[in-house]
């Protein structure tokens, strides 16, 4: 035990000496050697070693520390491998954040926050997940917002900003301290949270949090095989390459020219501001919705809706209701209405015929003749809710990007 303590003290001494040497190299060479402060610190550990002896001790003790490791590389190799190690560490952290559902964490966010970000827990599918859900049309739920901030658990009345999807409320200062929202996102929250448009909190805005551990693992494996780097932006060529790979995996064939045009239209829908690239969060939400449509039933998607979303669906349905049912055309009109946002009145004017994942079962993939035939077909409240669930979920993000194909 005595030997172990001695080595620990030697390491501490070396670290202190390194700090002093670095200070001198930074431009304090003309300053007298501060032996006394360093000596006082070392007296607490070893008892009176002088600063002037640090470089020699560093060399000798550094050798002692490195003796157990016989695979020490030359200093030039260490310098060359350092960027590679740093890059691997950054990528590993990005994959970890993706797995935990924390989504994008831009490097320019203020990391000096004092509040601890929440731990996200992915949902688990129940045994009756695919069974029909009975939601009454006449009985509104009218869930009230929480009284206390979800972060600090303090009530301050009008200073709280509600989420339009769930019942959580937040202080803008608490969200700033968490480091989840940039300045422009905070201002958007202040401008829209108390309006008809509303604002989605960081739980509801992140569609990736709806995926289970198994679904997320499947998506991550696809990203890794396609060499998609988490938290990075994608240009059109990268999206095309990704879609080609997905087509080979699912259908064992390349995309046709028509399907490539669809992918480019999808890219435009995910890049409404024409930046020339897709933000990572929009790409992640787009792919998360694709996974939901692939692995979940309509009943399962209905179970994901909140009380506020179900109430909004009731209001839309009742506005269109005639004799207890609405037509197929009115149903499509209602589904498109989820994406009307006051901040962007043009959000629904994109080329909706090619927006969304390539999916043969998509409502928009049916032939025009069949669509005309179905226009007058009645739709009950239960059918309306099941068919609209995926569109209500896709409308959750605050982003103006279109994350799903809209019905024609």
| CA atoms of 223 and 230, how far apart (whole Å) | 8
Q: Residue 216 in contact with residue 208, Cβ under 8 Å?
A: yes
- Per-residue pLDDT of 21-75, as tens digits, reads 565 555 444 444 444 444 444 444 444 444 444 444 444 444 444 444 444 444 5
- According to the model, what pLDDT value does residue 396 have? 94
Task: Report in angstroms the alpha-carbon separations of 268 from 275, 327, 347, 402.
Answer: 10, 31, 12, 9
Per-residue pLDDT at 267: 94
Please state, as a whole number, how many other Cβ atoms lie within 10 Å of the Cβ of residue 200.
Answer: 21
Contact between residue 94 and residue 102 where contact means Cβ atoms under 8 Å apart: no
For 164-223, how does the pLDDT look when each residue is reduced to its tens digit (9 = 90+)?
999 999 998 888 888 778 888 899 999 999 998 899 998 999 999 999 999 999 888 888
Confidence label for 366 from pLDDT (cuts 50, 70 and 90) = very low
Encoded tokens for 369: 């003749």
pLDDT at 338: 79
Concatenating the DSSP letter of every residue in 234-282 gives B-HHHHHHHHHHHHHHHHSSPPPHHHHHHHHHHHHHH-TT--SSB-HHH
Per-residue model confidence (pLDDT) at position 247:
84
* Cα 212 to Cα 224, 259, 284, 296, distances in angstroms: 18, 29, 15, 11
Report which of 158, 186, 192, 188 is spatially closest to residue 172, judged by C-alpha positions: 186
Question: Would you call 156 exposed, middle or buried from its count of C-beta atoms within 10 A (0-12, 13-18, 19+)?
Answer: exposed
Count, residues in the chain? 408
User: In a 10 Å sphere around its CB, with 0-12 CB exposed, 13-18 middle and 19+ buried, how is residue 231 labelled?
Assistant: buried
Residue range 65-94: mean pLDDT, rounded: 55
Cβ pair 95, 220 in contact under 8 A: yes
| Helix, strand, coil distribution of the chain in percent, nearest 5 | 55, 5, 40
Token pair of 389 as six digits? 């669930």
Residue 341 phi, psi dihedral angles, 5° rounding: -130, 135
DSSP 391-406: HHHHT-SSSSS--SPP
Task: Give the sign of the dihedral formed by CA 215, CA 221, CA 223, CA 229.
Answer: positive
Q: With beta carbons less than 8 A apart as the criterion, state whether 304 and 393 touch.
A: yes
Taking only the tens place, the pLDDT of each residue in 384-399 is 999 999 999 999 999 9
Q: In this predicted structure, what is the pLDDT of residue 183?
A: 85
Percentage of the residues of the chain whose pLDDT score is greater than 90? 32
Query: 117 or 256, which is more confident?
Result: 256
Average pLDDT, the chain: 74
Query: Between 338 and 150, whose confidence is greater?
Result: 150
- 348 touches 339 (CB < 8 A): yes
Residue 11 has pLDDT above 70, yes or no: no
Q: Is the pLDDT of residue 302 over 90?
A: yes
Residue 257: pLDDT over 80 = yes
- Taking 60 as the threshold, does the pLDDT of residue 154 lie above it? yes
pLDDT tens per residue, range 102-153:
444 444 444 444 566 667 788 898 888 999 999 998 888 999 999 899 988 8
**81: which residues sit within 8 A by CB, 6+ positions away?**
73
Q: Is 166 within 8 Å of 201 (Cβ atoms)?
A: yes
Kindly list the distances between the CA atom of residue 363 and the CA atoms of 55, 159, 265, 288, 353, in Å, as whole numbers in the listed order.
73, 43, 17, 18, 10
* Structure confidence at residue 141 (pLDDT): 92
CATH number 3.30.40.10 given to 137-205 = yes
Name the segment(s) of the chain with CATH classification 3.30.40.10.
Answer: 137-205
User: Cα angle at 388 between 384 and 393, to 5 degrees?
Assistant: 150
């Amino acid at each position: 035990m005595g030997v172990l303590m001695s080595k620990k003290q030697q390491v501490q001494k070396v670290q202190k000496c390194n700090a002093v040497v670095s200070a001198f190299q930074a431009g304090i060479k003309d300053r007298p050697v501060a032996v006394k402060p360093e000596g006082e610190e070392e007296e607490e550990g070893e008892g009176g070693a002088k600063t002037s002896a640090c470089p020699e001790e560093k060399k000798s003790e550094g050798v002692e520390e490195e003796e157990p490791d016989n695979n020490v590389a030359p200093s030039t190799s260490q310098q060359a491998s350092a960027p590679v190690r740093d890059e691997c560490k950054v990528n590993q952290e990005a994959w970890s954040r993706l797995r935990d559902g924390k989504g994008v964490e831009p490097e320019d966010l203020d990391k000096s926050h004092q509040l601890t970000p929440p731990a996200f827990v992915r949902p688990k599918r129940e045994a009756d997940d695919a069974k029909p859900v009975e939601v009454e049309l006449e009985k509104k739920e009218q869930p009230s917002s929480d009284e206390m901030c979800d972060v600090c658990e303090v009530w301050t009345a009008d200073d709280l900003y509600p989420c339009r999807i769930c019942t959580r409320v937040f202080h803008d200062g608490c969200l700033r301290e968490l480091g989840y929202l940039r300045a422009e996102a905070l201002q958007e929250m202040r401008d829209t949270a108390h309006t008809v448009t509303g604002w989605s909190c960081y739980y509801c805005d992140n569609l990736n949090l709806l995926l289970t551990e198994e679904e997320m693992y499947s998506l991550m494996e696809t990203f890794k095989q396609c060499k998609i780097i988490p938290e990075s932006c994608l240009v059109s060529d990268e999206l095309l390459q990704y879609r080609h790979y997905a087509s080979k995996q699912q259908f064992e064939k390349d995309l046709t020219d028509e399907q490539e045009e669809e992918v480019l239209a999808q890219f435009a829908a995910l890049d409404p501001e024409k930046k020339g690239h897709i933000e990572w969060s929009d790409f992640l939400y787009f792919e998360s919705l694709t996974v939901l449509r692939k692995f979940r039933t309509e009943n399962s998607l209905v179970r994901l809706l909140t009380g506020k979303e179900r109430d909004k669906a009731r209001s839309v349905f009742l506005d269109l209701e005639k004799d207890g049912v609405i037509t197929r055309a009115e149903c499509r009109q209602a589904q498109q209405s989820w994406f009307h946002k006051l901040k962007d009145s043009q959000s629904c004017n994109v080329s909706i015929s090619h927006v969304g994942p390539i999916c043969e079962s998509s409502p928009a993939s049916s032939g025009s003749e069949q669509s005309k035939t179905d226009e007058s077909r009645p739709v009950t409240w239960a059918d309306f809710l099941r068919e609209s669930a995926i569109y209500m979920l896709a409308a959750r993000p605050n982003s103006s990007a279109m994350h799903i194909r809209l019905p024609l």
